[in-house]
């Protein structure tokens, strides 16, 4: 896989050595079991896969390249580069300005841009409408387009499905930048609809089977279907694609459910004319990180800490998985760990930051599950380790931990 040039302060020598050791012993990434870091009074069980993915490193490299190559020009990002405050704050500190927030609220009006400005398209991609607006202003949108190749793969799959006269069902969060972009690209060639979860898939399934009529479709999916979408004709042939950071298992569950509806309606053989198998739209990094998180669930620990941006979709799903077994604390940096007595963390479902006291159980040996999202620098994970270690005496050195490293 390509090696990217990204700032060294995003990397971690300690975490890098651990990943290197795991890669040597498991080059094909077949082993999803975590790694035990034994510091004596505190032990960390860290996931097999976590941290920057291919698409994130690609986006960061291009962004810093844009800064270096254009010292005398204004540089803008359409929105946040990735959903991580450390990365976005550093880009802002280096002079990059954000045109809008992740929800589409404008910070800078389009009329303020000129053809001499540099505009970076973030890793999530953008809509065809915004891309055309920039082209109409003679702004080069290709040079610093950081759209993740795996997001573009979903777009290509959607285009092919449209050419084969399938409508597109997008599993995603309809307000997420990536889902908006995918909807725009899918809608260019095919009627499209966004669904959030299996429960919404079941509503759609009852529309497909005829149990519910059009009115239920239009009320249930308001503002989430393409203009002119007619359930009577546009649900005869469908394919499912996803926002690449959703739970892979949930996307598969939705696909299996929708496929089952067509099997019931048309029979096993004829259902293939109505439902397209699109499981290859799942992002490899999302899938790897989620499988590694499941590996963490096979072990015992006192608590779990997940590091990442609070608006990061892929990180939120890791949190959701770990919450099934451990007291789980979702933090964006080590600064959220106020002391050994209290921690600030994010409740994703309630969308609020909360404070929890006495989160570290008093034990002779404390065990902490630790992982991060695909947009979190490894350096942040090491800082969290350092912060927790600062609460304990007589801990093993990192060198000794690396010498003793075990596959847990």
pLDDT, residue 406, reads 60
Span 188-217, average pLDDT: 96
Our measurement of the distance from residue 144's CA atom to the centroid of its chain's CA atoms, rounded to an integer in Å, reads 21
* Residue 319 backbone dihedrals phi, psi, to 5 degrees: -60, -45
For residues 242, 244, 246 and 247, what is the CA-based torsion angle, rounded to 10 degrees? 100
Paired tokens of 294: 């499941």
Span 289-297, average pLDDT: 93
pLDDT tens-digit readout, 357-367: 999 999 999 99
The helix (run of H) or strand (run of E) holding residue 42 is strand 42-46
For domain 8-53+285-407, give the fold: Cobalt-precorrin-4 Transmethylase; domain 1 (3.40.1010)
Residues 120 and 62: beta-carbon distance below 8 Å: yes
Paired tokens of 354: 């909360």
Residues 64 and 6: beta-carbon distance below 8 Å: yes
Span 43-48, average pLDDT: 97
Q: Is the fold of 8-53+285-407 the same as that of 160-282?
A: yes
Span 253-278, average pLDDT: 92
Span 305-310, average pLDDT: 96
- Pick from 133, 130, 175, 124: which is nearest to 154 by CA? 124
**How many CB atoms neighbour CB 72 within 10 A?**
5
- Residues in Cβ contact with 382 at an 8 Å cutoff, skipping those fewer than 6 apart: 12, 14, 15
pTM: 0.89
pLDDT at 242 over 70: yes
Q: Give the Cα-Cα-Cα angle 139, 144, 146 (nearest 5 degrees).
A: 130
pLDDT, residue 351, reads 92
Side-chain-side CA neighbours of residue 96 (13 Å): 29
Locus of tokens 């503002």? 223
What is the CATH architecture assignment of 160-282?
3-Layer(aba) Sandwich (3.40)
For domain 54-136, give the fold: Rossmann fold (3.40.50)
**Active-site option among 178, 200, 250, 382:** 178
Name the band, by pLDDT with cuts 50, 70 and 90, for residue 280. low
Our measurement of the distance from residue 211's CA atom to the centroid of its chain's CA atoms, rounded to an integer in Å, reads 35
pLDDT, residue 81, reads 85
- Pick from 348, 351, 358, 349: which is nearest to 391 by CA? 358
Span 188-216, average pLDDT: 96
pLDDT tens-digit readout, 149-181: 999 999 999 999 999 999 999 999 999 999 999
Name the band, by pLDDT with cuts 50, 70 and 90, for residue 279. low
pLDDT tens-digit readout, 211-237: 999 999 999 999 999 999 999 999 999
Q: How many helices (H) and strands (E) does the chain have?
A: 14, 15
pLDDT, residue 325, reads 97
pLDDT at 53 over 60: yes
The mean pLDDT of the chain is 93
Q: Is 323 helix (H, G, I), strand (E, B) or coil?
A: helix
CA atoms of 37 and 287, how far apart (whole Å)? 24
- Pick from 178, 325, 162: which is nearest to 244 by CA? 178
The helix (run of H) or strand (run of E) holding residue 342 is strand 342-347
CA atoms of 71 and 59, how far apart (whole Å)? 19
Q: Spell 260-295 as b/e; 16+ CB within 10 A means b.
A: ebbbebeeeeebeebbbebeebbbebbbbbbbbbeb
pLDDT, residue 74, reads 97
Residue 253 falls in the annotated catalytic set: no
Domain boundaries of the chain, sorted by first residue: 8-53+285-407, 54-136, 160-282
Q: What percent of the chain has pLDDT over 90?
A: 83
Our measurement of the distance from residue 18's CA atom to the centroid of its chain's CA atoms, rounded to an integer in Å, reads 23
Locus of tokens 């404390």? 366
């Amino acid at each position: 896989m390509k090696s990217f040039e990204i700032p060294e302060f995003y990397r971690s020598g300690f975490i890098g050595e651990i990943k290197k050791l795991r890669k040597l012993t498991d080059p094909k990434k077949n082993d999803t079991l975590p790694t035990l870091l034994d510091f004596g009074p505190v032990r960390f069980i860290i996931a097999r896969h976590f941290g920057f993915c291919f698409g994130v490193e690609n986006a960061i490299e291009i962004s810093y390249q844009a800064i270096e190559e254009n010292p005398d020009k204004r540089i803008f990002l359409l929105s946040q580069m990735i959903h991580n405050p450390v990365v976005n704050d550093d880009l802002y500190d280096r002079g990059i300005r954000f045109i809008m927030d992740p929800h589409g609220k404008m910070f800078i009006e389009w009329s303020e841009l000129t053809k001499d400005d540099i505009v970076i398209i973030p890793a999530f991609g953008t809509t065809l409408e915004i891309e055309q607006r920039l082209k109409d202003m003679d702004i080069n949108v290709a040079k610093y387009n950081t759209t993740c190749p795996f997001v573009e793969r979903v777009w290509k799959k959607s285009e092919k499905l449209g050419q084969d006269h399938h409508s597109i069902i997008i599993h995603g969060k309809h307000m997420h930048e990536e889902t908006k972009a995918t909807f725009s690209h899918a809608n260019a060639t095919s009627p499209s609809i966004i669904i959030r979860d299996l429960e919404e898939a079941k509503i759609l399934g009852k529309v497909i089977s005829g149990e519910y009529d059009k009115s239920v479709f239009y009320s249930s999916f308001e503002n989430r279907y393409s203009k002119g979408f007619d359930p009577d004709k546009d649900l005869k042939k469908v394919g499912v694609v996803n926002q690449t950071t959703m739970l892979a298992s949930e996307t598969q569950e939705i696909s299996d459910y929708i496929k089952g509806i067509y099997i019931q309606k048309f029979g096993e053989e004829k259902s293939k004319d109505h439902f397209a198998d699109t499981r290859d739209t799942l992002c490899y990094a999302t899938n790897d990180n989620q499988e590694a998180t499941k590996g963490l669930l096979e072990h015992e620990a006192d608590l779990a800490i997940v590091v990442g941006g609070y608006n990061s979709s892929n990180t939120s799903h890791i949190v959701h998985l770990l919450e099934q077994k451990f007291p789980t604390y979702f933090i964006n940096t080590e600064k959220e760990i106020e002391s050994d007595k209290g921690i600030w963390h994010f409740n994703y479902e309630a969308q609020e930051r909360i404070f929890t006291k006495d989160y570290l159980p008093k034990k002779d040996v404390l065990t902490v599950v630790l992982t991060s999202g695909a947009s979190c620098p490894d350096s942040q994970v090491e800082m969290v380790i350092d912060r927790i270690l600062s609460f304990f005496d007589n801990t093993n050195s990192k060198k000794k931990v690396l010498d003793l490293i075990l596959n847990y």
